[in-house]
């Protein structure tokens, strides 16, 4: 037998961290104590009250049956209430909210509803890889919009050629941003709404990091922007907010036609998330949110240790206002890959080369604040040894 992979699978970009994974395994083999700042996965456990709700819910026989693919109405109500409290926005739980098996699932599936071969999807880069992959799986083409420091890591919408605009169906944006940790001012979102209306382009905003913010900064919802609900939807995740990456629970809110189409795709692919997990999600969304404030304080302390340490070494590392990523330019004379390889070999510290998130990430590395402050202080000590 010869198994020929589909063109869609064959055209997926190569996994850029393969080489780094190999080097990491090699260094670990030598017995080096590795400090891994490479992974964007919270290190602290899910809050106890959420776990307790899950334990109680697992025992409920009614949850052992097929869930609905749109998600429990009670979850959708809790999500709508959460948006009301957090952003003062109202959504109809019946038609304007859909539960996702992690937001990645919705992000990957959404283009199936709107993208045909020949269509273009506008994707910011460096960025979360799933925007591109969802596009390719739908047979569409990705047109990349670079995020560079000179533009505050916001895409230049005026730079898009007319023939691309004509074929473009979707624009993906993500603020607070992974990996650059950039945030978007309200004027940018307003510009996006105008752009979407002028060109008849759907806006998908990925708001996975809205609750991971520091100092005085409070992240907005894209849907707060006047007119936003006419053009788009917002993807939300409980993963980073409540340390629930393993649970696979998120949701999307916004324009009912767009939400309905995503729900239609999902009803033909999956049968929704286990309702006990949705119950745990309801506990998280309906809680007093003090667990979020605790996590913000923990990440802020970590951020200050790492960023101050990098700045003391002469790197021009900004203090991120949001996300648990530090996006730092590498020292002069290094590429992203050179620098991350050097760090790994000389110090046992793992970070992610910026170009792994797209060519525009060249010249940067991403460090995740997903180890304790003691370990970050140790990392800073080790940096000193090589500079």
341: phi then psi, degrees, rounded to nearest 5: -65, -45
Choice between 207 and 347, CB closer to ligand PLP: 207
Residue 164: count of CB within 10 angstroms of its CB: 13
Can residue 180 be called a binding residue for ligand PLP (CB under 6 A)? no
Residues in contact with ligand PLP, counted by CB under 6 A, come to a total of: 14
Binding mask 225-244 for ligand PLP (x = CB under 6 A): ------------x-xx----
Choice between 12 and 39, CB closer to ligand PLP: 39
Can residue 221 be called a binding residue for ligand PLP (CB under 6 A)? no
Residue 366: is the preceding peptide bond cis (ω within 30°)?
Answer: no
Specify the length of the chain in residues.
387
Taking the complex as a whole, how short is the minimal distance between the CB of residue 124 and ligand PLP, in angstroms? 10
Q: Of the ranges 97-105, 133-141, 310-318, 333-341, which one interacts with ligand PLP (CB under 6 A)?
A: 97-105
Taking the complex as a whole, how short is the minimal distance between the CB of residue 204 and ligand PLP, in angstroms? 11
Can residue 174 be called a binding residue for ligand PLP (CB under 6 A)? yes
Can residue 309 be called a binding residue for ligand PLP (CB under 6 A)? no
DSSP label at residue 384: H
Taking the complex as a whole, how short is the minimal distance between the CB of residue 263 and ligand PLP, in angstroms? 17
**Regarding beta strands 364-368 and 352-353, do their DSSP bridges make them parallel or antiparallel, or are they unpaired?**
antiparallel
Q: What three-state secondary structure class fits 126?
A: coil
Can residue 211 be called a binding residue for ligand PLP (CB under 6 A)? no
Taking the complex as a whole, how short is the minimal distance between the CB of residue 246 and ligand PLP, in angstroms? 9
Query: Could you identify the residue written with the tokens 């890591």?
Result: 153
Nearest alpha-carbon partner for 110 in 94, 123, 93: 123
Can residue 206 be called a binding residue for ligand PLP (CB under 6 A)? yes
The correct pick among 20, 36, 38, 40 for binding ligand PLP (CB under 6 A) is: 40
Can residue 213 be called a binding residue for ligand PLP (CB under 6 A)? no
Can residue 128 be called a binding residue for ligand PLP (CB under 6 A)? yes
Residue 63: count of CB within 10 angstroms of its CB: 16
Rounded Cα distance, 296 and 291, in Å: 9
Nearest-10 crossing angle of helices 130-137, 103-114: 40
- CB-based contacts of 167, cutoff 8 Å, min separation 6: 118, 119, 120, 141
Tokens at residue 359, please? 């060519």
Tokens at residue 200, please? 């008849």
Taking the complex as a whole, how short is the minimal distance between the CB of residue 384 and ligand PLP, in angstroms? 30
Can residue 103 be called a binding residue for ligand PLP (CB under 6 A)? yes
Residue 126: is the preceding peptide bond cis (ω within 30°)?
Answer: yes
The correct pick among 208, 228, 259, 283 for binding ligand PLP (CB under 6 A) is: 208
Q: Residue numbers of the site for ligand PLP (CB under 6 A)? A: 40, 102-104, 128, 174, 178, 206, 208, 237, 239-240, 245, 250
């Amino acid at each position: 037998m010869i198994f020929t992979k589909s063109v869609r699978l064959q055209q997926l970009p190569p996994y850029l961290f393969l080489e780094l994974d190999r080097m990491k395994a090699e260094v670990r083999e030598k017995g080096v104590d590795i400090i891994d700042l490479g992974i964007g996965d919270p290190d602290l456990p899910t809050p106890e009250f959420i776990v307790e709700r899950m334990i109680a819910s697992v025992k409920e026989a009614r949850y052992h049956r097929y869930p609905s693919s749109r998600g429990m109405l009670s979850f959708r109500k809790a999500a709508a209430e959460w948006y009301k409290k957090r952003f003062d926005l109202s959504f109809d739980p019946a038609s304007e909210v859909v539960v996702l098996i992690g937001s990645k699932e919705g992000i990957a599936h959404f283009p199936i509803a709107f993208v045909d071969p020949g269509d273009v999807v506008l994707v910011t880069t460096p960025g979360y890889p799933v925007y591109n992959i969802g596009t390719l799986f739908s047979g569409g083409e990705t047109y990349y919009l670079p995020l560079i420091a000179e533009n505050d890591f916001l895409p230049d919408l005026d730079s898009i050629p007319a023939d691309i605009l004509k074929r473009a169906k979707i624009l993906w944006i993500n603020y607070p941003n992974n990996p650059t940790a950039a945030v978007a001012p309200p004027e940018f979102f307003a510009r996006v709404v105008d752009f979407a209306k002028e060109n008849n382009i759907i806006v998908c905003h990925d708001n996975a990091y809205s609750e991971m913010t520091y100092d005085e900064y409070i992240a907005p919802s894209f849907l707060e922007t006047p007119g936003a609900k006419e053009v788009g939807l917002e993807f939300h995740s409980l993963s980073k907010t409540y340390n629930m990456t393993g649970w696979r629970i998120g949701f999307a809110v916004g324009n009912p036609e767009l939400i309905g189409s995503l729900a239609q795709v999902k009803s033909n692919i999956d049968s929704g998330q286990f309702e006990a997990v949705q119950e745990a999600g309801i506990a998280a969304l309906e809680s007093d949110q003090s667990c979020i404030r605790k996590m913000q304080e923990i990440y802020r302390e970590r951020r200050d240790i790492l960023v101050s340490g990098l700045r003391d070494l002469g790197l021009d590392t900004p203090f991120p206002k949001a996300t648990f990523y530090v996006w730092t330019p590498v020292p002069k004379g290094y590429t992203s890959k050179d620098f991350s390889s050097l760090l790994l070999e000389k110090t046992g510290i793992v970070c992610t080369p910026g170009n792994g998130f797209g060519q525009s990430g060249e010249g940067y590395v991403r460090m995740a604040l997903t180890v304790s402050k003691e370990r970050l202080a140790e990392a800073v000590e080790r940096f000193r040894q090589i500079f």
